[in-house]
Amino acid sequence: MRLAGRTAVVTGAAAGIGRAIARRFAQEGAHVVVADVRGDAGSSRDGGPPTTKLIETEGGLATFVQGDLTDPAQVTELFDRTLEVSGRIDIVVSNAGVFRGSPILDTTVEAWDADMDLNLRSQYLVNRRAVAEMIGQREMDGIRGRIVNMASQLGVTAPPGHLTYSVAKAGVAQMTRQLAVDYARHGIIVNAIAPGRVITGYHAGEADYVADGTVDAATEYSLQRTPFPRLGRPEDIAGAALFLASDDCTFVSGHLLMVDGGWTAY
């Protein structure tokens, strides 16, 4: 119960990494506000129940808010709804985004703008509102709030063909550092997680890999590059997020936590 009595907003929480984080936070006692543009339909890839229903079945407390976080008005609705049900926002995990990209000559202006909106603008909007709310909150042991942004290993490395995603995630990492510096004296802790290859069922070939170990070319490449003898799981990222959101994290801010099985250390 490391988050008992806390309210946590987790974006992109209907499936994958966000779903695992929301579930772990609820298991640790947080009231989790599950936010997703797709609706709380659960993960169609794992056939599970909606995230809020899963949390409630396990004895946790969850509220769902649907919204497009590239839209400032819908970000406002998310935070207003959270304040209505809780009165306070202790933790924000800005996880929503989409993995796609192409080399620059194959990237249209429209594709660039769309990917930057989804992977960088949305996090800017969420962070901006989170800071605005947290800065005026009552301190709890010297901390007014914690923000955890989802960056990526691809914001540090440059595998071929992922221009927009890599640039956006590098921007998330830099925004995290900037906010940590700007608002540390206000008691706001801001960090980011940079996952490596995590098996969520989103990418082609992952379902076969999970089912029977069948490895396609992309998965084989990731396995070869990862020193740890497996690829990541959503629960690996949830554990890292829990540390950054908990009272164990009191003097760590502006940090990019690599959760990649040693890929970037190699």
Q: For the chain, list the strands marked E by DSSP.
A: 7-11, 31-36, 61-66, 91-94, 145-150, 188-195, 256-259
- At which residue do the structure tokens 């969420």 appear? 126
Residue 24 burial (10 A CB sphere; 0-12, 13-18, 19+): buried
Sheet of 145-150, strands arranged across: 61-66, 31-36, 7-11, 91-94, 145-150, 188-195, 256-259
221: annotated active-site residue: no
Q: Side chain identity at 191, as an amino acid letter? A: N
What is the torsional sign of CA 171, 142, 251, 86? negative
Residues 6+ away with beta carbon under 8 Å from 224:
none
Q: Which tokens in the block code for residue 70?
A: 């590239």
Alpha-carbon gap, residue 63 to 180, rounded angstroms: 28
CA distance 240 to 95: 13
Catalytic residue among 165, 183, 221, 266: 165
The catalytic site residues sit at 165
